[in-house]
Amino acid sequence: TGTYYVTPHNIVPAVNLSRRQKRKQKQKQIPDAVFRSRRGNLLLDLATTGYSSEVAKAAVVASTKSGNISLNLLSGAKIRPRFDIEGNTRSGNVVLFIPSTFSGAIQLHTKTGDINFLPGIASEMRVVKSTDTEYLVLVGAQQPPGTDQAPVDFCRLRTRSGNVVIGVRGKDTYVRPAGLWQKLTGFLRSG
């Protein structure tokens, strides 16, 4: 739980490597920030520091075995590095609020839960792929292929048995549904 400003580390450019070697090196990159929990919830407010001209993206991994993940991405100036977020939980809900400056792709996957788009993001997104268990959506202004590509944001959220909720920070609100014990104690108090 808390607010974190992530400073991406500089990657030394690879010179004279084959395409396969570059791909392997890219897969081995260490994230800039890692948040892990076994049985607890993760409530994170994330922002980036630095300049996108130096480092294009800040890689963040948030994972828990049995707990909810709530990510609130804070908007920054356009000169700040973009987000590269990965959120995983086995049994729990994943809630993501993106800033209005977010521009990129969001990949969502749940095995047995629902994927919910709050009204603020539903009006701003474009669905690229849609199945019962997976969505791929684009949010924000997208540049046509072939132009000088500016860095873009990317979020990958996965849960096995939980819901995924996506919204825009400042426009949407999410109220977590009451659990069994909250309903039971509320019923006993009112009765």
Say what the pLDDT of residue 14 is. Answer: 55
Residue 110, H or E segment: strand 104-110
Give residue 23's pLDDT. Answer: 67
pLDDT band, residue 11 (cuts 50/70/90):
low
In this prediction, residue 191 has a pLDDT band, given cuts at 50, 70 and 90, of low
pLDDT tens per residue, range 24-42:
666 667 899 999 999 899 9
Which of 160, 149, 131 has its CA nearest to residue 82? 149
What would the two tokens of residue 122 be? Answer: 């539903």
Average pLDDT over residues 153-170: 93
Number of domains the chain is built from: 1
Do 155 and 85 meet the contact criterion of CB atoms below 8 Å apart? yes
pLDDT computed for residue 94 by the predictor: 95
The mean per-residue pLDDT over the stretch 155-161 comes to 94
Closest CA to 1 of 68, 54, 65: 68
Mean pLDDT across 86-105? 93
Examine the pLDDT at 149 and tell me if it is beyond 70. no
Contacts with 158 (C-beta within 8 Å, 6 or more apart), sequence order: 87, 88, 89, 94, 108, 109, 110
Both structure tokens of 64: 């828990």
Of all helices (H) and strands (E), which one includes residue 185?
A: helix 180-190
How far is Cα 120 from Cα 84, in angstroms, rounded to an integer? Answer: 21
d(CA 35, CA 139): 25
Neighbour tally for 55: CB within 10 Å = 19
Q: What is the pLDDT of residue 50?
A: 84
Q: Is the pLDDT of residue 58 over 70?
A: yes
What's the confidence (pLDDT) of residue 28? 62
**Sheet strand arrangement including 69-73:** 2-6, 42-48, 69-73, 94-98, 164-168, 115-117
For the chain, what is the mean pLDDT? 85
| Domain interval for residue 182 | 2-190
Q: Picking from 22-26, 58-62, 102-106, which range would have the lowest pLDDT averaged per residue?
A: 22-26
Helix (H, G, I), strand (E, B) or coil at 21: helix
Look at residues 98, 104, 106 and name the one whose alpha carbon lies nearest to residue 151.
104
